[in-house]
Structure 1
Amino acid sequence: MNAQFQHVYNEKQRKRKIDAEKKRLRELLNLGEGGTGLKADSRLCVASGLIDQAAFLFVLLEELDLTIQRDGYVENYQNGEAQWGSKKSVAADMLDRYTKTYAAVTKQLCELVEDTDPEDMEELKKHFSGRPGGVGG
């Protein structure tokens, strides 16, 4: 394991990926230019915040998954001179935690757009069914 943590993406790459995911979600939700998705202003405002969160979490989860692939699921530790061992990595803990948050955010997004075209709803559910960066993501 590296003594110094190294990010998978730099800030510019991360921002580009988040912006691309926001755009993809807006298109999926039919909120792009000329879109007819959410019509009520309050729901659109809520959806916009959830889209921002979902896009950020999507890229974060992708990066955590790549970090685990690179560094491993387990990391070694040492407490003092005589105590050492292995434990679940910080990235693995964060992946578990943020996967749950991502699931909650995407569930809220799906609930906001339940009254949209059933075909669009299936596409949205398919998009959210896989974990970002993981199998099916």
Structure 2
Amino acid sequence: MENSRTEVQRYFAYFDQLIQPIQKPMMYEMYQQLKQKFFDTLASVDAENALTIWTDLLDIDAKLQIMSDLINDDVFELSEQEIIQLTNNDYKNYFRELVGLNELDQVPHSLLFLRQIQYKRCPSNVYSIHNKEPKQ
């Protein structure tokens, strides 16, 4: 368990350095909330909810990745509030875009896209897989 805690600390060390309270106070507050949510979510994992927890952690990671991409962006020069708004709006499509898929493309059957895959029970007691439409 100590190794996993060390891995999580290393994961957050990057963001700890990147998102400073003096330079970006609103983003820092959001970051602290996401970090706490990550630890709380991770602490609640068990065999029955592992995949749900996985998708929750990926959502947090997507938000952190978007924030880190935009925090020092010199092209768009977005305000903190604009970055937070983009982060909260775009995180659901982050991994889709990362692998080159648009909103209309079918996602692969992967843990990365678990939240976007919908399972429906068929009459033969087998589950069929249908991609969920991304929420706008």
Query: Could you tell me the TM-score, scaled by structure 2's length?
Result: 0.31
- Who wins on radius of gyration, i.e. which is larger? 1
Name the structure, 1 or 2, with higher relative contact order (CA <8 Å, separation 6+). 1
